[in-house]
Amino acid sequence: MTTHKHVKTALAVALALVSISAASAQESTATYDTMAPSSGADTQPAARGSMQGMDHGSMQGMDQGSMQGMDHGSMQGMDQGSMQGMDHGSMQGMDHGAMQGMDQGSMQGMDHGSMQGMDQGSMQGMDQGSMQGMDQGSMQGMDHGSMQGMDHGSMQGMDHGSMQMQGGSAPPDARDPNAYSGGYQLGVGKYALSNTRQLMMADEHNFGSFLIDRLEWVRGPNSNAASYEAQAWYGSTYNKVVLKAEGDVKKGRLEEARTELLWGHAITTFWDTQLGIRNDVGSGRPARNWAAFGVQGLAPYWFNIQATAYVGNSGRTALRLSTEYELLLTQRLILQPRVEANLYGKNDPVLEIGSGLSSASVGLRLRYEFSRQFAPYIGVERYQTFGNTANMIRADGGRSGETRFVAGLRVWY
Amino acid sequence: MRSNRAMGVVLPNLPRRRFVQGLAAGGVIAGLGLGGMPARASQAQGTAFGTAPVLRGTEFDLVIAETPVNFTGKPGMATTINGMLPGPTLRWREGDTVTIRVTNRLPEPTSIHWHGIILPFQMDGVPGISFSGIAPGETFTYRFKVQQSGSYWYHSHSGFQEMTGLYGGIVIDPAGEDRVRADRDYTVLLSDWTDEDPMRVLTKLKIQGDYYNYNQPTVVDFFRDVSREGWTSAMNKRQMWNQMRMNPTDLADLSGATLTYLMNGVTPAGNWTGLFSPGQTVRLRFINGAGNTFYDVRVPGLKMKVVQVDGQDIEPVSVDEFRFGPGETCDVVVSPTDEAHTVFAQTMDRTGYARGTLAVRQGVQAPVPAVDKAEWLTMADMMGDMGGMSGMSGMSGMSGMSGMDHGGMAMAHSQHGAMPGNAANSLKVPSKKARHARTEYGPSTDMHVDMARTNLDDPGIGLRNNGRRVLVLQDMHTIGGPMDARSPQREVELHLTGNMERYAWSLDGVEFGKSTPVHFRYGERLRVILHNDTMMTHPMHMHGMWSELEAPDGTFLARRHTIPVQPAQRISFLVTADALGRWAWHCHLMLHMDAGMFREVIVA
């Protein structure tokens, strides 16, 4: 799921990510289907709806109150379809047909329940101010133009049901796939070869992959390090063991490393939930262990998205969001914008991590695929710390952000 | 971006050229290999270079073994029959009882399935369903009465052996006189070859569904469209594809990036040649034995008179070109006018071609045409009738949608009202309303088509309005009409489903391993509806019984063993369940079949 590529438009260079502006800490009991059908851009319901469209599962895990503050505009570029699926009312200005055709199902099918078990309170502790500092504007730049170009009027007469080409849920009168079996079982019984089914196809086979998405040398004012990010999986189409690893090596020492072991479970066409554990280590740093729950998948317009929430010891919570996009300049020359953000529920001074939006990076990598599986790249990345984190680093004499040049290799097997 | 030169694709360097074209002398290295024993058979008619020998009679010995081959410059191992790839063509006579002893010299089990042949299910050769397979070192004896005539083929039904060379042609002479007369008679078996391990190929697709697609939309394409059509049009053309995360160039899972295309086991550079004398007519028995490739076949400069499809004689129809998928066969008669004519079979995704020559003597060649430009899939390919109603020829996203009018929708609504419910008398005509299974709404599917198109006059993507007369399904009229005059007593509706992103293929959203069999009551006449909820064409092959294709108004068209279903298309055929036992029913694209687009049928 991580390696899809497509062209959106030239606009897509203006990649943007999640702009999270936490708002009032008020308790909210609203869910998406109770939202007012308001199209007011600045009303909380609309804002909430749009965020749910992006990543329902993980967002539910967050404090709902804070989601109310989410910037509506900024999310529109993310996942129109799923937003449509969430809240028709607020999206009425948009094209129903197109929206229905998108990915309602992927979001609706998300496992709400499992996230609700998360610590909502700790999410409320997020730093509102720093989140607002995120780039709202960049998302708005995404897609407004093209959406406005859509034809509202002519679509309203459409039969929404028949236009829904992806996702959704089965209607009550949906056909039973076993209706034609006449009670017979696969490979056993009359005319069968034995008492157990003999024929197995690849749908019952396990597959595996090991992707090193980034294996790079990083050069910046403060950095001269090697960095890696990898993801391996093994399993069936719908259930996998997933191993994620990311870290930096400086002067031969592992500066910091995040390793996650997850159970990935396909829930919709393009989305998997992931449930498991995370371990952070680093030389001279105390280890941190977390329980992890997240989603990984492909949003409309081919954005690869990972969003994972973590709960650690001592009431620590964290949220990690990343997205990648693959812009095919040619069949083999690919420009990959990449955005990552890390948020924490409370200060962890030993690690110089502050609550709220702690760090984010925006990178642009240009790779050449000698083969699908072997692609060297060069790129540039802006890394920035925010809020308490930035304060702690500055107090320690460090810089709160830097621009880095990277050169590396993307390989998989 | 790819400019289409004579070679068809941009060939950046020499090794690549060799890869696409293949080695001129490519093929089986070890000659007859181990144990090849065409003993009881006589070598028939002056077989040209590359043509498999023809074995005649009623008793046959086939030995399956591994044989070194080299099609691309890279040595590999093929699974072969009597040391040959393709295996020998078996020539039977209708009414005979044939005995075929198949000996397995592979280190793994094997099997041979007689594709399109009506026989007892124990002889059908599907391991795990009709028999236990042929263990290493063992010999299995197939024996059955030949009840039909025409062109067919055989292939392994074990693992990926079919992709690695285990296939051959079958020609059955009618008990009486052959309706088709020609001076020369050639079996032309088209296939494809990959140097990779097929399981590795499948694994790569599981990891990246578009791994072999080097014809993806790029930024260069986008700006070219902007300059030609304007910004809005270029944006619209892409909008829905990108929203839905579907690829308009997803025409084939495997491409020339890994495949070398073969005609009678010969690479394009090798140029299989069938000889004729001036003034002679030539019957070409085309068999698509490819693992994963749809071919568009033509003999530039000549009309092809199509006389038989899937072994069944049809009212002759004269065409310039036909498309057929893995499993299908198509017999044509041509009347050469020049010293040499190219037999050209470009792949549906336009990344390569198989090629041979009809010539008055060895070594004479005709020009090889350029491969056509690959087209994007259209609105109709994604949305069926809804796309068609918009009248858009291209994929035009929002503007296409807004172009839809309410009238069109109203029609659809009235269909809804008319079709469901009043079952008994409406069975004269196949139902039109999509009845999606409840299992089609999960991660196994990436789209559903609610108003599929039923048009059988569509040659399919890449062949529409190409200036050539292309064979379409509605051209096919089997001589003699249906085998069973009864009306269907019920309908069985199955949806062809998949998720390209996960590379999952299924029926009704359910892969083989999680499915239950489809039960046909012994003796019944029923209608099967195949409704394609994907954007690929699937050649659906039902073992053991004929699939009698019908028009949307219920009139009989043609008796088939493999029915190609286009994207967003809904096709129906009638089956007489006269063959007791358990049978396989699957998409004949090997990787789709293996991924689970497969059902067991039980007739009881």
- In whole angstroms, what is the distance from residue A211 CA to residue A232 CA? 6
Q: Which residues pair with A368 in a beta bridge?
A: A333
Q: Which residues pair with B169 in a beta bridge?
A: B153
The one-character DSSP state at B451 is S
Average pLDDT over residues B138-164: 98
- In whole angstroms, what is the distance from residue B567 CA to residue B586 CA? 16
A80, A86, A88, A92: CA torsion to nearest 10: -30
Q: Which of A272-276, B2-6, B373-377 has the highest mean pLDDT?
A: A272-276
Q: CB distance A331–B218 less than 8 Å? A: yes
The one-character DSSP state at B291 is S
Q: Which of B219, B215, B214 has the alpha carbon at shortest distance from B234?
A: B219
- In whole angstroms, what is the distance from residue B584 CA to residue B601 CA? 6
Average pLDDT over residues B129-140: 97
Q: Which residues pair with A142 in a beta bridge?
A: none
In this structure, are residues B475 and B576 in contact, taking their beta carbons and an 8 Å threshold?
no
Average pLDDT over residues A129-140: 30
- By three-state DSSP, how is residue B310 classified? coil
CATH topology of domain B436-601: Immunoglobulin-like (2.60.40)
Confirm whether B48-176 and B178-212+248-373 share one CATH topology: yes
B323, two tokens: 């498309």
**How many CB atoms sit inside 10 A of residue B373's CB?**
11
Q: What phi, psi does B60 have (nearest 5°)?
A: -135, 145
Looking at per-residue confidence, does A102 or A348 come out higher? A348
pLDDT at A121 over 50: no
Q: Tell me what ipTM this predicted complex has.
A: 0.86
A368, two tokens: 């050449």
pLDDT at A86 over 80: no
Cis omega before residue B109 (within 30°)?
A: no
Q: CB distance A203–B401 less than 8 Å? A: no
**Strand ranges inside B389-433, DSSP E:** none
Q: What is the pLDDT of residue B583?
A: 98
The 10s digit of each residue's pLDDT in B203-257 is 999 999 999 999 999 999 999 999 999 999 999 889 889 989 999 999 999 999 9
List the helix and strand counts (H, then E) for chain A. Answer: 14, 13
The dihedral built from the CA positions of residue B245, B249, B254 and B258, taken in this order, carries a sign that is negative
Radius of gyration of chain B (CA): 23
Residue found by looking up tokens 């607002």 in the block: A132
Q: What percent of chain B has pLDDT over 70?
A: 86
Q: Which CATH architecture has domain B178-212+248-373?
A: Sandwich (2.60)
Question: Which residues of chain A neighbour B446 with C-beta distances below 8 Å?
Answer: 166, 269-270
Q: CB distance A155–B436 less than 8 Å? A: no
Q: What is the pLDDT of residue A252?
A: 86
- By three-state DSSP, how is residue B93 classified? strand
**Cα angle: B533, vertex B257, A300; to 5 degrees:** 40
Strands across the sheet containing B295-298:
B272-275, B353-359, B340-347, B295-298, B321-324
pLDDT at A55 over 50: no
Of B412, B493, B600, the CB nearest to A186: B600
The model carries a pTM of: 0.81
pLDDT at B520 over 90: yes
Q: What is the pLDDT of residue B426?
A: 74
Q: Of A160-164, A317-321, B116-120, where does mean pLDDT reach its minimum?
A: A160-164
The one-character DSSP state at A223 is -
Residue B440, exposed/middle/buried by CB under 10 A (0-12, 13-18, 19+)? buried
A123, A129, A134, A138: CA torsion to nearest 10: 120
Question: Which residues of chain B neighbour A204 with C-beta distances below 8 Å?
Answer: 511, 513
The 10s digit of each residue's pLDDT in A159-175 is 333 357 888 889 999 99
Nearest chain A Cα distance for residue B454, angstroms: 17
Residues 6+ apart with CB under 8 A from A1: A270, A272, A296, A297, A298, A304, B501, B502
Instruction: Give the type of residue at A324.
Output: E
Q: Where are the domains of chain B?
A: 48-176, 178-212+248-373, 436-601
- By three-state DSSP, how is residue B390 classified? coil
Which numeric CATH code is attached to B48-176?
2.60.40.420
Q: What is the pLDDT of residue B22?
A: 81
- In whole angstroms, what is the distance from residue B551 CA to residue A234 CA? 46
Q: Which of B354, B269, B265, B328 has the alpha carbon at shortest distance from B80?
A: B265
In this structure, are residues A265 and A287 in contact, taking their beta carbons and an 8 Å threshold?
no
Residues 6+ apart with CB under 8 A from A222: A398, A399, A402
- In whole angstroms, what is the distance from residue B15 CA to residue B267 CA? 15
A320, two tokens: 């990690």
Q: What is the pLDDT of residue A98?
A: 32
A189, two tokens: 């019984």
pLDDT at B180 over 80: yes
Q: Label residue B19 by pLDDT band (50, 70, 90).
A: low
pLDDT at B372 over 90: yes
Average pLDDT over residues A228-250: 96
Q: Label residue B18 by pLDDT band (50, 70, 90).
A: low
Q: What is the pLDDT of residue B17?
A: 53
Of B128, B437, B492, the CB nearest to A198: B128
Question: Which residues of chain A neighbour B3 with C-beta distances below 8 Å?
Answer: none
Question: Which residues of chain A neighbour B223 with C-beta distances below 8 Å?
Answer: 10
Q: What is the pLDDT of residue B27?
A: 77
Q: What is the pLDDT of residue B23?
A: 80
Q: Of A377-381, B123-127, B290-294, B425-429, where does mean pLDDT reach its minimum?
A: B425-429
Q: What phi, psi does B128 have (nearest 5°)?
A: 90, -15
B319, two tokens: 């065409």
Residue of B nearest to A233 (CA): B207
Of B232, B508, B513, the CB nearest to A200: B513
Of B203, B398, B436, the CB nearest to A174: B436
Q: What is the pLDDT of residue B422?
A: 45
**Cα angle: B330, vertex B331, B333; to 5 degrees:** 140
In this structure, are residues B524 and B580 in contact, taking their beta carbons and an 8 Å threshold?
no
- In whole angstroms, what is the distance from residue B177 CA to residue A50 CA? 72
Going from the C-alpha of B479 to that of each of B543, B546, B557, the distances in angstroms are 22, 15, 9
Question: Which residues of chain A neighbour B579 with C-beta distances below 8 Å?
Answer: none
Residue found by looking up tokens 């200060």 in the block: A347
Residue of B nearest to A301 (CA): B242
Average pLDDT, chain A: 70
Count how many Cα atoms sit within 13 Å of the Cα of residue B57 in the half-sphere of its side chain: 14
Q: What is the pLDDT of residue A50?
A: 33
pLDDT at A118 over 80: no
- By three-state DSSP, how is residue B239 classified? helix
